[in-house]
Amino acid sequence: MNNSYTIGEMAKLCGVAPSALRYYDSVGLITPRQDSSNHYRYYTYQDVAKVRIIQNLRELRFSIEDIVDMLGENDVDHQLALMEKKRAEIEEEVKALQTSLQVLTNRIAGIRSAMEQEKSFFSAQMKQLPDRRVLSLRKKSHAANLESYTLYFNELISLAKKYDIVIPSHFMIIHHHIDVNQPWRFIAEAEKDIEVCLPLDHTEKLEAERVIDGGLYMTMLVKGMAGKERFQDIMQFVQVWLTEHGYRAAGPITDVLLTDMSQLQPERLPEQVRAEMQIRLVKQQSNI
């Protein structure tokens, strides 16, 4: 049985690269013995055991710095403290991964749902929607176009990152300047008042959050970004629908984007975007 191993033999024996062994040497984890007769450096069975210990700790996601600290201190309490710290870090990572998994699951379901709903576009219906907590950013400007929406959502995403929020499946755009009850000329001339939102499921109260009131909503699936003429046609359709069903709009238009964020590429957006338009309803007062 060999009592010593060259770096090549050691690498093969433990399944590591020679560069890894050299690195372990450079940080003081494993220092091979030098043969005084030929100046070659050799490893021993003790080094084999230490390599396996290092590999095991790396599998537990300890950094090399942590391993140097752990193996350099012959103190069980210190090693236990390092392990408890690592466990807490892994618990946080698991929590973040579970959040990402849930968001990804929801986004997959959202894409599948949008694909299945293709035949229902421009068909209005009524839905009872709950109160919804959202992360909110509201801006006023003279333009409401793809460029302004992109910049608003960019700012909203930065805000979400500040709160460590994983971007969910659907963005929301609320058009506060659009009063569906008014004639078209008032809508077209109004200063643009846009709110962009992200749904929240955090239990923690956030400074930049608000609640969108629940209630009875008219909803309609729409396809593509509407230009002026097409949007005017949509507004006319909505106003006729409201009159026929005896309702008035009790708030602005909210567009919930059904298209996944991964598909919101600006050069394709005008044709690809799918959204559910939502308008909260109140019963029309009788003139009698």
**Does the predicted model carry a pTM greater than 0.85?**
no
CA dihedral 135, 165, 266, 155 (to 10 degrees): 60
Per-residue pLDDT at 64: 94
Per-residue pLDDT at 185: 76
107's enclosing H/E stretch is helix 76-116
Mind listing the pLDDT tens digit of every residue in the chain (288 residues)?
567 899 999 999 999 999 999 999 999 999 998 877 777 889 999 999 999 999 999 999 999 999 999 888 778 899 999 999 999 999 999 988 888 888 888 778 776 776 666 555 567 889 999 999 999 999 988 877 778 888 898 999 899 888 888 777 678 999 998 888 988 777 777 788 999 999 987 677 888 899 999 999 999 988 776 666 778 888 888 999 999 999 999 999 999 988 766 666 666 655 667 888 999 999 987 655
3-state SS assignment for residue 254: strand
Phi, psi (5° rounding) for residue 47? -70, -35
Structure tokens at 17: 């690269």
Residue among 131, 71, 61 nearest 93 (CA): 61
Q: Spell out the residues 6+ positions from residue 195 whose beta carbon is closer than 8 angstroms to its own.
A: 136, 137, 138, 139, 173, 174, 176
Q: Spell out the residues 6+ positions from residue 13 whose beta carbon is closer than 8 angstroms to its own.
A: 5, 48
Per-residue pLDDT at 277: 92
